[in-house]
């Protein structure tokens, strides 16, 4: 049996994907890659790649999503609110792992020059949340039904180092970085009547610079940069960047999106390879003999977190963590969540158990049929909502004959005589009498994600382990 270099790389990385590995293990793996001189710098570079992956991905996402003259579909200029009027479909490629349960109400904006004022209308007891992410993907504030209620609210999002006075009734939310991503979600059942109600709420959400607050304000048209790739998925664009381009962009971004104070020890190491916050990247300090291999190895290391990160739990084939939204110095977790679910919420707002294999450890494939059975009174315990979403192997929606990308209680799920509920996960219809419980699958490999918004914090709860996800089983 022959072993490809790629397979050998992945095999070695499975031992090295954790945050702490022995010098001997790294040296042995370096030899397998053909890296001798500069091995220490190679591992420093992979650490730096992992560290910067969220900031670089956020910037590349921003470029794609704001590279238009006016708001259109899923894109809009900086500082203008994008109001998705219907669920994304299988053609959506801007962000991995999108959802089909809420209507996104989003915007990228820059608080480096002045604050921006966000006004949220009375949501009339509807479930919603308006998380604000900094450039490093931390959710630094999260107005919403769970945290601030559903009444009308007004906030000024201020940048690093800003000091000043705010108008009466405007509460300050301080961003650690100049780049801010409002990634609002408003629950919607998807019916025409409910779409109309949510559209009205979206239209009442306002975002203006502080200097224009309380005045008539018309945003300027956006500027289109023809050099921005508007077709290739963002993650693929990031993964294709060579090491020099990647670190050059990272250093440029850190000038306006400063690292957290807790990152200082990690950043001190990176100076050896030319990465210093606030300064241009010194490419001459990066060894040429490993530049081409490093991004590939570093990204593989990120994705192998499924196997090695102790904060990732595995329950009946579903992997999940309660360490999203705020990452501290867990740079591998932050990069991993960026890669598979950019924009993830804090665990108190949402948990995303994800499954790539069935109860027997076999990869999901549309050639087979599966069932997920919830016992009586054991549907996911949440205060918001839950859903099970179907993705292809790259975490994008799957085309299907009934245009259903997720399944939840809003499908009027049919229960069995004993009170249990079966969800049918397969390519073809399970029959007209069971289609309310059908989540269509592709012909090839696929991934499942169980979203639990505002999960119970007390028994039964996925957070404390008192509620367990049932297994997905293959139907003979």
Categorize the per-residue pLDDT at 12 as very low, low, confident or very high, splitting at 50, 70 and 90. very low
Higher pLDDT, 333 or 40: 333
CATH of domain 21-59+233-303: 1.10.3360.10
Q: What's the pLDDT at 164?
A: 94
- Of 231-235, 251-255, 267-271, the least confident: 231-235
Nearest alpha carbon to residue 325 among 453, 209, 222? 453
pLDDT over 50 at 27, yes or no: yes
Categorize the per-residue pLDDT at 5 as very low, low, confident or very high, splitting at 50, 70 and 90. very low
Higher pLDDT, 5 or 49: 49
Q: What's the pLDDT at 445?
A: 97
Categorize the per-residue pLDDT at 205 as very low, low, confident or very high, splitting at 50, 70 and 90. very high
Place of tokens 């996800």: 469
**The domain defined by 72-80+103-212 carries CATH number 3.40.225.10:** no
Helix (H) or strand (E) holding 54: helix 39-66
Share of the chain above pLDDT 90, in %: 77
Exposure on the CB side of residue 60, measured as CA atoms within 13 A: 29
In degrees and rounded to multiples of 5, residue 233 shows phi and psi of: -55, 145
Q: What's the pLDDT at 307?
A: 78
**The domain defined by 313-474 carries CATH number 2.60.120.600:** yes
- Of 32-41, 153-162, 362-371, the least confident: 32-41
Averaged pLDDT, 185-202: 95
Categorize the per-residue pLDDT at 15 as very low, low, confident or very high, splitting at 50, 70 and 90. very low
Distance CA 109, CA 76 (A): 11
Share of the chain above pLDDT 70, in %: 91
Decide if 21-59+233-303 and 313-474 have a common fold.
no
Averaged pLDDT, 204-222: 97
Q: What's the pLDDT at 289?
A: 64
CA–CA distances in Å: residue 344 to residues 95, 247, 416: 11, 24, 34
pTM of the model: 0.86
> What are the residue boundaries of the structural domains of the chain, listed by start?
21-59+233-303, 72-80+103-212, 313-474
Averaged pLDDT, 212-230: 96
SS3 state of residue 271: helix
When the pLDDT of each residue in the chain is averaged and rounded to a whole number, the result is 91
pLDDT over 70 at 466, yes or no: yes
Exposure on the CB side of residue 156, measured as CA atoms within 13 A: 22
pLDDT over 80 at 301, yes or no: yes
pLDDT over 80 at 362, yes or no: yes
pLDDT over 80 at 8, yes or no: no
Q: What's the pLDDT at 460?
A: 94
Question: Is the CB of residue 334 less than 8 Å from the CB of residue 49?
Answer: no
Place of tokens 């010098």: 23
Q: What's the pLDDT at 97?
A: 84
pLDDT tens-place string over residues 307-344: 788 888 889 999 899 899 999 999 999 999 999 889 99
- Of 12-21, 83-92, 94-103, the least confident: 12-21
Exposure on the CB side of residue 98, measured as CA atoms within 13 A: 21
């Amino acid at each position: 049996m022959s072993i490809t270099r790629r397979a050998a790389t992945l095999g070695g990385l499975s031992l090295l994907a954790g945050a702490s590995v022995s010098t001997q293990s790294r040296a042995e793996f370096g030899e397998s890659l053909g890296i001798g001189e500069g091995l220490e710098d190679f591992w420093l570079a992979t650490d730096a790649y992992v560290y910067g992956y969220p900031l670089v991905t956020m910037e590349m996402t921003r470029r794609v999503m704001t590279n238009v003259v006016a708001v259109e579909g899923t894109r809009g200029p900086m500082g203008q609110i994008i109001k998705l009027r219907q669920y994304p479909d299988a053609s959506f490629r801007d962000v991995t792992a999108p959802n089909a349960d809420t209507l996104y109400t989003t915007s990228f904006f820059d608080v480096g020059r002045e604050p921006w004022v966000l006004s949220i209308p009375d949501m009339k007891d509807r479930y919603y949340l308006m998380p604000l992410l900094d450039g490093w993907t931390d959710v630094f504030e999260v107005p919403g039904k769970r945290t601030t209620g559903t009444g009308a609210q007004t906030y000024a999002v201020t940048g690093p180092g800003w000091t000043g006075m705010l108008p009466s009734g405007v509460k300050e939310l301080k961003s650690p970085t100049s780049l801010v991503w409002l990634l609002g979600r408003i629950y919607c059942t998807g019916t025409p009547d409910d779409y109309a109600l949510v559209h009205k709420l979206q239209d009442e959400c306002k975002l203006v610079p502080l200097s224009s607050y309380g005045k008539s304000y018309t945003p300027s048209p956006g500027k289109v940069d023809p050099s921005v790739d508007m077709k290739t998925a963002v993650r693929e664009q990031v993964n294709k960047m060579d090491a020099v381009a990647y670190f050059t962009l990272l250093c440029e971004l850190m000038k306006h999106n400063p690292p957290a104070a807790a990152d200082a020890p990690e950043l001190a190491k990176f100076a050896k390879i030319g990465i210093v916050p606030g300064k241009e990247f010194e490419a001459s300090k990066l060894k040429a003999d490993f530049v081409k291999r490093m991004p590939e190895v570093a990204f593989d290391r990120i994705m192998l977190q499924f196997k090695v990160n102790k904060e990732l739990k595995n329950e009946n084939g579903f992997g999940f963590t309660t360490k999203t939204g705020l990452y501290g110095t867990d740079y591998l977790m932050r990069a991993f969540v960026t890669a598979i679910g950019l924009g993830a919420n804090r665990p108190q707002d949402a948990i995303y158990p994800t499954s790539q294999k069935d109860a027997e450890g076999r990869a999901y494939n549309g050639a087979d049929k599966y069932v997920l059975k919830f016992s009586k009174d054991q549907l996911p315990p949440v205060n918001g909502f839950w859903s099970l979403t179907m993705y292809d192997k790259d975490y994008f929606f799957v085309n299907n004959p009934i245009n259903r990308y997720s399944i939840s209680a809003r499908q009027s799920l049919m229960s069995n005589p004993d009170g249990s509920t079966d969800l049918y996960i397969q390519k073809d219809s399970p029959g007209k009498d069971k289609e309310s419980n059908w989540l269509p699958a592709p012909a090839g490999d696929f991934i499942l994600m169980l979203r639990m918004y505002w999960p119970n914090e007390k028994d039964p709860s996925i957070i404390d382990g008192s509620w367990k996800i049932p297994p997905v089983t293959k139907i003979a």
